[in-house]
Every structure is written in C-alpha cells, then in structure tokens.
Amino acid sequence: MTDDNPEPPAGVEYRDIAGERRLATRGESVYGEPTDGEWRAWNPDRSKLGAMLESGMDTGLEGGETVLYLGAASGTTVSHVADFAGPTYAVEFAPRPTRDLLSVVDSRPRLFPLLKDARKPETYAHVVEADVDVIVQDVATRGQARVALENRRFLAAGGRLLLAIKARSEDVTRDPDAVFEDVLAELEVEREGEREGEREGEREGGYEVLETARLDEYHVDHLGVVARPR
C-alpha cells in the first residue's frame, strides 16, 4: 500500500487491526480474519480484489454498487464486497465451496448465491438484473477472457470489469506474460470479425482496458485488470 493509493470505496477503510494497518470492511466474520469491533481485516493474500485495492489500482469502486461476482468460491472476497456494495450476485460453479458460501450469505441479506456456470450466462440471466455497476471476475478456468465477454451483457454502459487473470488456469506451461497478453487482446476484441460463426452480440464491443497490474506480491502469476465496456 502506498500513500497515493486511490481512496477505497465507502465502507472500506484502512484500520489498525492487531497492530497492523489493514484494509477492512464491516460485517460478520467469515474466515477467521482478525477483527476490531465490527470491522474485519480484508486479507489481500486471500483475495485478488483485496490485492488489487492494496496495489493501488483505481477500481472506480465507491460503495453501494450493484455487483455481479463471478467465481465467488467459498465467499472470502464476496463477503467483503457484500459488506460495502449494494445487491451482490455471487456465481460459483463448484458445489463444495458453495456450501461455505451459503453460510456467508446467511448474515448478508443483499448477497444472492447462484450455483451456476459463469461460462453460461443464460442460465442465470433470469435472476441477475441488467445494468450492474461492477463485474468482479476471479474464475480459475481456461478461457477467462471469454467468460468476461459472455457476461458483458450484464454490465451497465458506464460500469467496470474488475478481473483477476490467473495465468496457470489458461496454460500452466506457458510464460505468464504471454498468457496475459493473449487474454488482454481477446478482451479488447482486436480480432473481431475474424472468427466465423460467432453468435451475434457475443463478440461485439468487448472491453477497453484501463489499467493492469501484476498481483505477484499477493498472488503468484495473477494479473489484475480494470476495464470498461466499449
């Protein structure tokens, strides 16, 4: 964390917890994180979004947003998001972590769990509302750019995509920088129109990448990305 970091969103503060200055939100404890009263520390080592904030990336988050969170896993990060954001839709595909996510959801009335595949938005478009302010994406699957593009339909025109790209999920053997380059290129849809047979609307638009930062201090071979829909 540096002093010229952008202000964290409302509801997220740097607080002295257990003798350290820590990013924190207010909510019921979830994963044994240290707390100070109702504030609980947000561990950037366990949260890519936490790492993006700690790294000083300009996420554009202000607090109170409507959020679609893809790859909620057991709810570590999404619990913090629900603490400061508005209605938060948490999509997770694996049953085991979702079981833990359910206990996070119990104390957060505006957090909505969905056991769905983020690669198939049509299976939850009847639940998730249109024009969300933010998509947070942290899915450990091949084709992370495609997931972002498929879910673009939920994002408001002025919204933000906050994406953590995991290089190893795309290809364990390749150089992470090369993987990141490919994923970013696909996000920006520079190859639009080249591929035949793409469904209408699926590829159009894409994203404009505003900022990227390696998150290696907290997460090896991950790239944080802030983007907005074109």
Positions touching other proteins (CB under 8 A) are 73-74, 87, 94-99, 101-102, 105-106, 109-115, 122-123, 125-131, 140, 153-154, 168-169, 172
- In the complex with other proteins, the residue whose CB is nearer, 54 or 150, is 150
- In the complex with other proteins, the residue whose CB is nearer, 121 or 224, is 121
- In the complex, the smallest distance separating the C-beta of residue 203 from other proteins, rounded to whole angstroms, is 15
- In the complex, the smallest distance separating the C-beta of residue 106 from other proteins, rounded to whole angstroms, is 8
- In the complex, the smallest distance separating the C-beta of residue 205 from other proteins, rounded to whole angstroms, is 14
Q: Cα-flanking dihedrals φ and ψ of residue 106, to 5°?
A: -55, -40
Tokens of residue 218, six digits: 């907290």
- In the complex with other proteins, the residue whose CB is nearer, 39 or 218, is 218
As a whole number of angstroms, the distance between CA 223 and CA 66 comes to 24
- In the complex, the smallest distance separating the C-beta of residue 73 from other proteins, rounded to whole angstroms, is 8
- In the complex with other proteins, the residue whose CB is nearer, 39 or 154, is 154
Q: Give the strands of the sheet with 155-166, arranged side by side.
A: 111-115, 88-92, 67-70, 132-137, 155-166, 222-229, 207-214
- In the complex with other proteins, the residue whose CB is nearer, 56 or 97, is 97
Cβ distance 144 to 124 under 8 Å?
no
- Report DSSP state, residue 115: E
- In the complex, the smallest distance separating the C-beta of residue 175 from other proteins, rounded to whole angstroms, is 16
Close Cβ partners of 222 (under 8 Å, ≥ 6 residues apart): 48, 51, 164, 165, 166, 167, 214, 215, 216
